[in-house]
Amino acid sequence: MQTMVDLQTISELYKIMLKIRLTEEKVAEIYPSDKIQSPIHLSIGQEAVAAGVCMALGPENKIFSTYRSHGIFVAKGGDLRLMFAELYGKETGCAGGKGGSMHLLAPEVGFLGSSAIVASTIPLATGNALASDYQDRKWVSTAFFGDGALGEGVFYESLNFAILKNLPVLYICENNGLAVHSRVEDRHHNSDLYRYGERLGVTGSRHDGDDVLTVYTVTKNAIKDILLGGPPILLEFTTCRWSEHVGPGTDHDEMYRDQDKVSQALANDPINRIQKVLQTQFEITDGQLSTWRNNIVDEINQAVIFAEESSFPSPEDLYQGVFMKQDI
Amino acid sequence: MFINYGQALQNALDQAMEQDPNVIAMGIGVDDHKAIFGSTMGLVQKYGAKRVFDTPLAEAAMTGVAIGAALGGLKPVHIHIRVDFLYLALDQLLNLAAKWHYMFGMQGHLPFVVRAVIGRSWGQGAQHSQSLQSFFMHVPGIKLVMPTTPYDAKGLLLAAIADPNPVVMIEHRLLYYIEDEVPEKPFTMKLGPAVIRRHGKDVTIVANSYMVVEALTAAKFLEEQKIDVEIVDPVCLAPLDAETILTSVQKTGRLLVVDTSWVCCGASSEIAALVAEKAHDALHAPIRRLGTQPVSCPVSKPLEEEFYPNAHNIVEVVYSMLGKKWENQKIPSLTTPFKGPF
């Protein structure tokens, strides 16, 4: 898609994607040390979706997400130190060490929470949009979910309610074609996921989720339409999960994988694609690129040091927070 | 004012909505002419369709909608005409709402209330009669209240709406007929303390919801036989007021728990275990429990009557706990005004 995205935005998108990639690689590198004692679901290969959508949303619009949220946390502008501390189970983590990798959040930048139950945050984004609508459509609420979520009933229930009430909600289906080790075509008679809301009245469209400029532009337009009073929108972004479902490695040779799809995805690295745009259309130099990269590497290293140096919660913290204390 | 349970709930919700523009009421049938047995009567006319609205038949997603709305600054009251429908919403209630504040390191704020009504009598059958309190007692993070009187209904609903946590309120269809003096002005009861419905010295009966009515009937009969029971109504089952229960058992030395639900892994199990662990030395007799029979609720009247515990059963058990011989006297049975269709 030809877009009129300015250099500054493209540079930011590139930096976010690179930051996600390098962050995930750092997580994978640390993982065998057992310093991260919790399951990790990496999003290497899917960076363009998180970067494009979250950059378009900015911090003022809200998101709810899934257990595969490291990239979304980074893209929404969460503090990387708090994310690493959370993965380490430290008290300084974004959830005080109680959530871990699957339950990231950064409410200060509109990332309200993530759940390990597939599809379960789709109604939350819908309800949050109800609250926005109640306050004169102050913000757009966004649900991130994978293709697996379309097997769950709450997806349909939520879309039905959202269109009924014309709520300012954006549904982002991050379609990597896999639910754990099951292909979408083995789970759904109809693989046109973007059309699943049609009969309910929710318009959807499918786009190349590895082309960050497309993701950004399509999302930006959707947000604009919704904030002007338009109906909820479903966007399907196709992408490829380079990593195994859970864990630090890859499993490209396993039987469930579509070999052609994997090779194509690896050959069309979404980060390389946008890097080429920067180099050829905007003449960004190698020197500039490596400065950006070095800054990101520094930030990641600082975040890891922060996590390592932070303390674990105390045993008494186990009992804190079952209920919010009432201030009356 | 002298009003019934449903009117007290309506009055509480009305006052909460008047005080706070962020309170909304949602659920199947909340804005129809029957208005959930009168408990939402007139609210849509007064506050409009944006604040009082019917929902699609989608308990799971609509519960998530309430959670998401609470995270966006609203205070939803999500109403279900039958508790049984909450099974459809358990993923949202127990996997999300109950865990949110804790799992996210005390961030996020979920001020929302779920109201649900236990059906009973007039052939409600297996899927319109259940009481799911034990589910919400088992999983940490949800407060669970069961108002018995119109006074409780108002005081607990206003407290539940003001509470920053998810609160499930389980009401009872048969209690909707009970009338009581209720203060006109808004007031809140604390979510926690039990209410002693009757002071006595011989046996502690911990009863909840409609079982309090049966226990009071039994107590009246027992009084004539010179048996003096104490009735403790937990009102709030999570968190549970252990202290009041234990203090009562320390005094009487005997405990009978009467719950609206099954005894297996139920509220009665938890209360019995509490006393067995913490007041064992005070006990003069084994702890006893009464609940619904371990079958699904049948429709046929004689079977239905056998299914539910009643004042008669309570009297029998109290007699046996005191080692007294039961002469099978006639106990005046409770007559309820409840008649169908719903």
- Residue A54: which of A36, A35, A70, A32 has the closest Cα? A70
The pLDDT assigned to B336 comes to 55
Q: What is the pLDDT of residues A66-99, one digit of tens each?
A: 999 999 999 999 999 999 999 999 999 999 999 9
- Dihedral of the CA atoms B239, B243, B247, B249 (nearest 10)? 40
- Digit-coded pLDDT (tens) for B302-311: 999 999 999 9
The per-residue pLDDT for range A98-110, each reduced to its tens digit, is: 999 999 999 999 9
Q: Report chain B residues touching chain A, CB-CB < 8 A.
A: 22, 24, 50, 55-56, 58, 60-74, 76, 91-92, 95-96, 100-110, 140-141, 143, 162-165
CA–CA gap between residue B38 and residue B17 (Å, rounded): 16
Which positions of chain A have pLDDT values less than 50? 1, 328
Q: Where are the alpha helices (DSSP H) in B20-87?
A: 43-47, 59-71
**Predicted structure pTM score:** 0.96
Q: Which two tokens stand for residue B244?
A: 């009041």
Question: Which element (helix H / strand E) includes B313?
Answer: helix B311-321
The H or E element that residue B217 is part of is helix B210-224
Which token pair is B199? 């002071």
Of A35, A55, A23, which Cα lies nearest the Cα of A301?
A23
- pLDDT at residue B108, as a whole number: 83
Per-residue model confidence (pLDDT) at position A328: 43
Strands of B288-339 (E only): list them.
288-292
* Residues listed for chain A: 328
- pLDDT at position B260 over 50: yes
B128 among known catalytic residues: yes
Q: Is the pLDDT of residue B339 over 80?
A: no
d(CA B85, CA B117): 10
Q: A23: how many CB neighbours lie within 10 A of its CB?
A: 26
Residue B162 with chain A: CB contacts under 8 Å: 326, 328
A159 vs chain B: nearest CA distance in angstroms? 9
Q: Helices B242-252 & B267-278, crossing angle to 10 degrees?
A: 60
pLDDT at B332: 62
Give the chain B residue whose CA is nearest to the CA of A116.
B95
Pick among A64, A324, A326 to test the B interface (most B CBs inside 10 A): A324
Question: Is residue B334 predicted with pLDDT exceeding 80?
Answer: no
**Is B179 annotated as catalytic?**
no
The nearest CA of chain A is from the CA of B328 a distance in Å of: 48
Q: Dig out the tokens for A123 from the structure.
A: 């109604």
CB B60 within 8 A of CB A123: yes
The stretch B297-301 carries a mean pLDDT of 94
Residue A325 has a pLDDT of 86
Residue B235 has pLDDT above 80, yes or no: yes
The structure tokens 């009245």 sit at A201
pLDDT value at position B331?
66
Whether residue B333 has pLDDT greater than 80: no
Q: What is the pLDDT of residues A295-309, one digit of tens each?
A: 999 999 999 999 999
Q: How far apart are CA B8 and CA B190, in angstroms?
A: 17
Q: Which residues of A touch B68 (CB under 8 A)?
A: 64, 123-131, 141
Tokens 């849509």 -> residue: B44
Chain A residue with minimum CA distance to B65: A127
For A187-214, b/e burial (b = at least 16 CB within 10 A) is: eeeeeebbbbbeebebbbebbbbbbbbb
* A115/B68 Cβ within 8 A: no
Query: Cα(B86)–Cα(A91) distance, rounded to whole angstroms?
Result: 35
> Quick check: bond before A248 cis, omega within 30?
no
Contact A157 B50 (CB under 8 A): no
Cα(A247)–Cα(B280) distance, rounded to whole angstroms?
50
Average pLDDT over residues B296-319: 94
| pLDDT tens-digit series, residues A145-160 | 999 999 999 999 999 9
pLDDT at residue B154, rounded to an integer: 98
The one-letter amino acid at B125 = G
CA-nearest residue to B56 within chain A is A161
Name the active-site residue from B78, B128, B172, B312. B128
Residue B341 has pLDDT above 80, yes or no: no
| Residues of chain B above pLDDT 90, percent | 91
Write down the pLDDT at residue A3. Answer: 55
Tokens at residue A213, please? 């400029």
CA distance A22 to B298: 62
B245, B204 Cβ separation under 8 angstroms: yes
Q: Write out chain A in H/E/C secondary structure.
A: CCCCCCHHHHHHHHHHHHHHHHHHHHHHHHHHHCCCCCCCECCCCCHHHHHHHHHHHCCCCEEEEECCCHHHHHHHCCCHHHHHHHHCCCCCCCCCCCCCCCCCCEHHHCEEEEECCCCCCHHHHHHHHHHHHHCCCCCCEEEEEEHHHHHCHHHHHHHHHHHHCCCCEEEEEEECCEECCEEHHHHCCCCCHHHCCHHHCCEEEEEECCCHHHHHHHHHHHHHHHHCCCCCEEEEEECCCCCCCCECCCCCCCCCCCHHHHHHHHHCCHHHHHHHHHHHHCCCCHHHHHHHHHHHHHHHHHHHHHHHHCCCCCHHHHHCCCCCCCCC
Q: What's the CA dihedral at A53, A58, A61, A67 to 10 degrees?
A: 50
Which amino acid makes up residue B25?
A
More confident residue, A187 or B122: A187
CA distance B233 to B215: 10
Residue B16 phi/psi, 5-degree rounding, is -65, -40
Contact B76, B97 (CB under 8 A): no
Instruction: Please give the Cα distance from A150 to B205 (Å, whole number).
Output: 50
Distance CA A159, CA A314 (A): 43
User: Mean of the pLDDT values across residues B231-238?
Assistant: 98
CB contact under 8 A, B68 and A127: yes
Two tokens, residue A39: 């399951």
Cross-chain Cβ contact B107/A326 below 8 Å: no
- Between residues B108 and A314, the one the model is more confident about: A314
What's the gap in Å between the CA of A57 and the closest CA on chain B? Answer: 17
DSSP letter for each residue of B81-107: S-GGGGGGGHIIIIIIIHHHHHHTTT-
- What residue type is assigned to position A326 of the chain? Q
pLDDT confidence tier of residue B20, bands split at 50, 70 and 90: very high
Q: How does the average pLDDT of chain B come out, rounded?
A: 95
